[in-house]
Structure 1
Amino acid sequence: MRFRHSDALRSDHPRLAAGALHTTGVDRRADVGPSVAEYTARARARLAGAPEGQFPEVLAWRRAFTRMGLKPTQYRCASESLLRRLRKEGSLPRIHPVVDLCNAISVAYAVPVAVLDADRLTGPLLEVRYARGDEEYTTFGGDLEHPAPGEVTYADSAGRAHARRWTNRQSGHSAVGDGTERILVVTEALHDGAADTVARALETIARDIAAHWHTAPTTALLTSSAPEFTLTDTPLSGRRAPW
């Protein structure tokens, strides 16, 4: 299974920096509470100085959404939505330990972090690309939608869309749940210094996942010259990929 951003998307967004991680064995038993508290405290400290709408990381996504014809205060990137919720409500939703951890790291670094159930992706390719309009997206409520032609989505080889409006909303089809064993984590950024931020965020995600679940994640920083990440079994997984 390969993950990449399309050449057309990279051409239109030359500042795009991305990182990907794959691992197995992420069940609900891990206690990520202390880590979540640490990373959300870091985000709160930054929010005390300025609201999330003034963060360079968020402003870059707002500009990208505007270029895509979206109203940025109606459709927010995932990290902005989480930061906004943290500022207004004081906490983040609890969903699954690995999602909770990645959400906390997302607000700490102010960049989107997507966590997908890798067994719900159809290979051989998952690509972040412009939609054709015939892709199928499943909401968390189970409804079926079709991304508009030209909308950025995560599309697999079966034509299933795993995101709407790039980093705005993930799909319910590949959401992490009780039966999740393997995950693909993706972090993306567009601001000045994005490559450094993504590298630090990805290192943090890998370190914390390894510590909490005793796995050996594989990671890669994706660039225009090295745009693809191959999901391979980690040494402790004991499973082979189904494709």
Structure 2
Amino acid sequence: MTFTLHISDDVRALAPGFGYIAVEAYGLTNGPSDQAGSDLLDAAARRLAERLDGGALQDDPHIAAWRAAYTAFGTKPSRTRNSAEALAKRALADGGLPRINRLVDLYNAISVAHLIPVGGEDLDRIQGSMRLLRAQGDEPFETAAGGEEVVEHPEPGEVVWCDDRGVTCRRWNWRQGVRTRLTDTSVNALFLLERMAPMTPADLTAAAEELAENLRKACPDARVEVGEPWFATS
């Protein structure tokens, strides 16, 4: 692994059960959604339904842990859902999961199947290192509203991912910015899989390995590397 990630002490103190694992991929071929990705999304929705076994999504222990973390930094989790819960909610609805592009479909399938937040960043658009920290409130966040690109700012104390240019994802993993998202022209990517206890290190690693396997199948010429898991209490 070659990319540097840093977790601030403030975040470690806020959520001692937090951990992540990174997957780096080089030489990918992205493009419009295809049948293989669509099949993975459909299978992920079935795996989610089996996991819940008729229970409420918010009662799943991993989702409950993420809700507690969101509450800890001042966000209402019922209104601002972490990315895993938001995707899972769509997977369980009549309309099902959206199809975005080949790479996004692959990591969304992992997110739903394992009920874990997963994000994908275009490595060529990241400036400097990436950091997870509590925002001051003046950091720029490039997003879209009404079809136009706009710059917003996080709330003071909000947990955000950022690089040297500004925020790349608000409210931990709630909304990714437009600058670093994976597009049809992306070739090098960083995928972040984030967990809260009680998700085990073994389950975190299994999700990353499954993502890596699916990336290699979709892009046989790509170089895909799975990093070592990191935990706030380590």
TM over 0.5: yes
**Hey, what does 1:33 align to over in structure 2?**
38
Counterpart among 149, 152, 175 of residue 159 in structure 2: 152
Among candidates 174, 181, 188, match of residue 175 of structure 1: 181
1:217 aligns with 2:224: yes
Q: Give the number of aligned pairs.
A: 225
SS where residue 162 of structure 1 aligns? strand
Residue in structure 1 matched with residue 143 of structure 2 by the alignment: 139
Shift of 1:224: 4.7
Question: 1:234 corresponds to which residue?
Answer: none
Report if aligned partners of 1:133, 1:148 keep a CA contact under 8 Å in 2.
Answer: yes
Would the alpha carbon gap of residues 225 and 161 (structure 1) be closer, same or farther in structure 2, given more than 3 Å must change? closer
Question: Is 2:202 the partner of 1:199?
Answer: no
- Residue of structure 1 equivalent to 2:5: 3
Q: How far has the Cα of 1:172 moved from its partner?
A: 1.5
CA distance in 1: counterparts of 2:13 and 2:184, whole angstroms: 38
CA distance in 2 between partners of 1:177 and 1:133 (Å)? 28
Instruction: Measure the CA separation in 2 of the matches of 1:87 and 1:34.
Output: 16
1:42-94, CA deviations, whole angstroms, 9 ceiling, x for partnerless residues? 11323442121111110001101111111110111000001111112252111
Deviation (angstroms), 1:15: 1.1
Q: Which residue, 168, 174, 195 being the options, matches 1:189?
A: 195
- Name the Cα RMSD after superposition: 2.0
Contact between 1:138 and 1:171, CA under 8 Å: does it hold in 2? yes
For residue 208 of structure 1, what is the aligned residue in structure 2?
Answer: 214
Q: Which residue of 2 aligns with 1:236?
A: none
Return the offset for 1:223.
2.2
**Cα distance in 2 between the residues matched to 1:216 and 1:225:** 28
Segments of 5+ residues of structure 1 without an aligned counterpart are: 228-243
- Offset at 1:105? 1.0
CA distance in 2 between counterparts of 1:81 and 1:68 reads 19
Contact 2:119 2:193 in 1 (8 A): yes
TM-score, scaled to structure 2 = 0.89
Q: Which residues of structure 2 form unaligned runs of 5+? A: none
Q: Tell me by how many angstroms 1:154 deviates.
A: 0.8
**What's 2:89 paired with?**
84
Tell me the percent identity. 29
Deviations 1:192-222 (CA, angstroms, capped at 9, x unpaired): 1342321111111111111111122112133
Contact 1:60 1:191 in 2 (8 A): yes
Q: What one-letter code is carried by the residue in structure 2 that aligns with 1:21?
A: V
Q: Please say if residues 16 and 194 of structure 1, whose CA atoms lie closer than 8 Å, have aligned partners that are also in contact.
A: no
> Out of 40, 45, 50, which is 1:45 matched to?
50
Match of 1:14 among 13, 16, 24: 16
Contact preservation (8 Å) 1:21, 1:206:
yes
| Equivalent position SS for 1:140 | strand
Contact kept in structure 2, 1:27 and 1:178, CA below 8 Å: yes
The question of whether the paired residues in 2 share the 8 Å contact of 1:47 and 1:87 is answered with no
Residue 76 of structure 1 aligns to a residue in which SS?
Answer: coil
TM-score normalised per structure 1: 0.86
Q: Work out the CA distance in 1 between the residues paired with 2:233 and 2:103.
A: 27
